[in-house]
Amino acid sequence: MRNRSNLLTYVGVGLLAWLTATACTEDFGTPCGLPQSPEVLAACATTEDSQGNASEATCIDPLNADCETRLCVAYRGQDAVCSQWCDDSADCPEGGECVVPTGGERGVCLPPELIVD
């Protein structure tokens, strides 16, 4: 009887972990809003150097209430979308690609249509 109780506990915990992991990707790639403070707007703005070369920033908000994962990413000046942290593309929802932004330590999952070379 005790073994059966332990087994049910493990199955229940495993099911809860699986549901939590799969629920976190439901809004992957949906639009989200970055804070509109002057500091964020300045940091995320596209800038040009003296030769006219554009530099498009990648902005990450790890505490965004618009996303189930709390991670909102504007990749290289594009519109911001809900994302999740990753170590490689296998960590991303189907079709997503793990990209480490310039100067970043961790990757973020991006929908394929946002990947720019």
Q: Is the pLDDT of residue 17 over 50?
A: no
Q: What is the pLDDT of residues 28-76, one digit of tens each?
A: 999 999 999 999 888 888 888 889 888 888 999 999 999 999 999 999 9
Hey, which bits of the chain come out as E strands? Answer: 47-48, 54-55, 59-61, 72-74, 81-82, 85-86, 97-99, 107-110
Helices (H), the chain: 2-23, 38-44
The three-class DSSP label of residue 82 is strand
As a whole number of angstroms, the distance between CA 103 and CA 93 comes to 24
The three-class DSSP label of residue 10 is helix
Mean pLDDT of the chain: 81
The whole-model pTM stands at: 0.71
Domain ranges (residues) in the chain:
26-114
Q: Is the pLDDT of residue 12 over 90?
A: no
Q: Which position has the token pair 């973020």?
A: 108
Among 38, 81, 87, smallest CA distance to 61 is for 81
In this prediction, residue 47 carries a pLDDT of: 85
Q: Is the pLDDT of residue 7 over 60?
A: no
